[in-house]
Structure 1
Amino acid sequence: MTSLRHNARMEQREFGTTGLTVSVLGLGAGQIGDARHSEDLAGTLMNRALDFGVTLVDTARGYGLSEERIGRHLSWRRHDFILSSKGGYGAEGADDWTPQAIRSGIEQALRRMRVDWIDIFHLHSCPLDVLRRDDLLAALDDARAQGLIRVAAYSGENDALRWAATSGRFGSVETSVNLADQWSAQHVLPQARDAGLGVIAKRPIANAAWQYAQRPAGQYAEPYWERLGTLDLDGIRQGAGLEWDEFALRFAAYTPGVHSAIVGTARVDNLERNIQLAQKGPLPIDVLTHIQAAWDEHGRGWGGEV
C-alpha cells in the first residue's frame, strides 16, 4: 500500500452548521450489505476506508446486511467516523411511515450497528405529503432530544427535497448529484447552503452508466445512460484528458454546496482509487463551463432521478 499516509490527509469539511466534520469522500455502504460479499471483504473494506481517512459511512435500513456488518466490523471504532443512516420503513412491529416506525426503527438500527447514537438519520425518499406530517417530524425531534440521533435529515429528490431544505426542520439532506443529475445542484443546494444544511451527494458517478456500450435496459443505470448520451460529454472528457470515473467524481464531490460525496464499492483497490481521484480537487473551470453549457442546452427540463 503506497498511499496510506497521503490518504490520511484527505480533505475534511465542516458539515453545514451541524457541528460535524466529514471527509470530501464518504463510503456508501449499500454494496457492503450484499450477502454475496463475504464478511471478511466487508470488514476489510470498511476498516481500510477509515484507515485511508474516510470519516463518513452512509447506510440504510434497506441495504441488506449493511447495518449488521457495520456493527460487527466498525462499532469498535465508533469515534473515528460519522454514521449516517436512513429509515421510516421496515421496522419490526410497526407500520411504515408512522411515529412508531421512526422510533423503533432508530432503536433497532442502534442495536444492529452496536452503537449508542446515529449522527445523521434521514427519512428515506418518502413523498412530500408524508415528509410534511407533523407526527413524523415530532418523532425525529424526540429522537434528537433524547440523544439517539444528532441530526434529523431527509434523503430524496425534487419537490420533497426542496421542501426539506427550506422547512427549518432538518439539519441535512442527501440527494443525487452527478453529471447526469443536476436538478438538486441547480435548484436546492444554493438554498441548503444559505440555510446552513449539511449536504451528502449520492450517486456521484452516475451509476457508472458510461461502462455500457448498449442501453442497459431495465438496469439501475439506464436513465443516466440515456442522459449522458443526450448531454454528449465525451468530447469534453477526452479534451480534459480524464477517465470517466475521475471526470464524474471530481465534478460531484466539488459541486458547490456538497460536503461529502458517497461512493459504494466492493473492492479495496477501487476504494483507494476513488480517494486518490477526490483528492485532486475540482475540475478546471473551463471544463466546468463546458459541462454547464451542455446542461443548459439539454438538461434543464430534467428532474432529479429518484
Structure 2
Amino acid sequence: MTPPATRLGRTGLQVSRLGYGAMELRGPRAWGEPISDDRARAVLNTVLDSGVNLIDTSPDYGDAEEHIGRWISHRRDEFILSSKCGCPPAVNGDPRTFPPHTYTRANVRACVEQSLRRMRTDHLDILMVHMSPSVAVLRAEDTVAEMLALRDEGKIRYTGMSGELPHLPEHIALGAFDVFLLPYSALDRSHEKLIGATAAAGAGTIARGSIARPLTAPPEAIPEPMRRPLADRHARLAAARLDDLADGASPMELLLRFILTHRDLHSVIVGSTRIAHVQANVAAAGKGPLPPDVYDALRDRLSA
C-alpha cells in the first residue's frame, strides 16, 4: 500500500503524507540499538519502495546523512530531501550531549556543504533552521539572507524552520519560511492551533514527535532530555485504555492516524530502524484519517 500524497503548501512539492525521519539512523550511537550498514540500506530502500518520498535528516543525526548518501543517492529523483542548519559541523560525539547551535552565515553554509557531500547530492529540497532560535538571533546572524543566497545558487530549493513555542508565532509572522516542522501528536497538542496559522500563511506543514513507534530501547540508552517525556507519554497511553477504539489496530496506528486527521497538516515524519515497522506505518497511513467519533474519543481520553 502506498501512502497518499499532498501538496506541501506554496512549495508545490507533492509529498507523501507519511515521511521518514532519519534520526534513528545515527549508527552505533543510536539509542541502544546499533545500526549496521545492511540494516540502514534495507530500511532506506524499503522507505522508497513503499512510496514514502519525504526524508528528513540533520547533520546532528550521527551517521544518518552518510547512510542516505551511501544507500539511496542513486535514487535521488525519487525523494524530497530535507536537512537542517545551525548545527555544529561534523558532529561525531555522544548523542546524549547537545553542543550549542550557531546560526551565522558561515555556519549555515558549512552545514549545507557538509550535508551535500555526505548525501552525495547537489541540492537539498528543504533547508530548515534547527532548534527554533528566536527571530532576534536570526536577524543578528543574518541567517535567512544566507539561506536565500544558497537558494539562489541552487544548493537548496526551499527554506524551512524546525520550530516550536515560544518562538514559533514570530517565525510564522516573519514570512521567510516555506515549510515548518512542528511538534504535534495526540499526546501533545500544544501547537495544534499554530499548525492552522502556519498553513493559513501558505507554508507547508510537517509534524514530528508522533511517537508512532514502540518504546523498544532500554531507558538508560535514551538521551536524558527525551527519556522522561517519552516514558510519561507511554504511561498516558497505557492509562487511556484505547483497546475499544482500536478495532484491532495498535495504539501507534491510532496515534499516527490521529495526526493525519488534522486538515492543515501535510505530512508527518516517523523514524524507525525496522523494516516491519516502516511497513506497518505505511499501511496505517494508507487508511487515512480516523472516523470522527474515534478521533473525538481519542482526543478526549488523552486530554483528560
1:289 paired residue number: 296
The offset of 1:236, in angstroms, is: 4.4
Q: Is the 8 A contact 1:58 1:83 kept in 2?
A: yes
- C-alpha deviations, 1:251-283, integer Å up to 9, x for none? 123322211111111111111011001111111
Shift of 1:225: 3.9
- TM-fit CA distance, 1:218: 4.4
CA distance in 2 between partners of 1:74 and 1:82 (Å): 12
Does the alignment pair 1:29 with 2:27? no
Shift of 1:87: 1.9
1:256 corresponds, among 259, 263, 269, to 263
| Unmatched tracts of structure 2, length 5 or more | 29-33, 91-100
CA deviation profile, 1:172-197 (whole Å, cap 9, x unmatched): 010111111111122x1111111111
Could you list the per-position Cα deviations for residues 195-233 of structure 1 after superposition, in whole angstroms to 9, with x for gaps in the alignment?
1111111111266469999xx994724224435656887
2:229 is aligned with 1:223: yes
**1:235-250 alignment, distance < 5 Å:** 235-241=241-247, 242-250=249-257
- 1:91-147, Cα deviation, whole Å (9 max, x unpaired): 36xx83211000121111111111010001111013214245461111111111111
Conserved 8 A contact 1:179-1:206:
no
Count matched residues.
285
Distance (Å, rounded) in 2 between the aligned partners of 1:294 and 1:136: 42
Which of the numbers 195, 198, 202 marks the counterpart of 2:208? Answer: 202
- Of structures 1 and 2, the one scoring higher in RCO (CA 8 A, sep 6+) is 2
**Aligned pair partner of 1:124 in 127, 130, 151:** 130
8 Å contact from structure 1 (residues 23, 55) kept in 2: yes
User: What is the rounded CA distance, in whole Å, between the counterparts of 2:118 and 2:269 in structure 1?
Assistant: 22
Q: TM-score, normalised by structure 2?
A: 0.85
State the one-letter code of the partner of 1:270.
H
Identity %: 34
Output the CA distance in 1 between the equivalents of 2:73 and 2:216.
36
Distance 2:61 2:218 in 1: 25
The separation in 1 between residues aligned to 2:12 and 2:78, in whole angstroms, is 15
Aligned to 2:166, what secondary structure does the other structure show? helix
- Code of the aligned partner of 1:88: G
The SS at the match of 2:191 is: helix
Q: Which letter does structure 2 place at the counterpart of 1:38?
A: S
Secondary structure at 2:11 match in 1: coil
* Structure 2 partner of 1:12: 5
Q: Secondary structure at the match of 2:9?
A: coil
Matches within 5 A, 1:31-180: 31-35=24-28, 36-91=34-89, 96-128=102-134, 129-133=136-140, 135-180=142-187
Aligned to 2:197: 191
- Taking a change above 3 Å as real, the CA distance of residues 286 and 210 of structure 1, as seen in their structure-2 partners, is farther
Q: Is the 8 A contact 1:180 1:224 kept in 2?
A: no
Question: Could you tell me which amino acid in structure 1 is paired with residue 153 of structure 2?
Answer: Q
1:155 shift after superposition: 0.4
TM-score, normalisation: structure 1: 0.85
The answer for unaligned runs of 5 or more in structure 1 is 1-6, 299-306
CA distance, structure 2, for counterparts of residue 210 and residue 70 of structure 1: 23
CA distance change for structure 1 residues 52 and 190 in 2, over 3 Å: closer, same or farther?
Answer: same
Paired residue secondary structure (2:226): coil
SS of 1:121 mapped into structure 2? strand
Contact 2:104–2:141, Cα closer than 8 Å, also in 1? no
Partner of 1:302: none
**Corresponding residue number in structure 2 for 1:303:** none
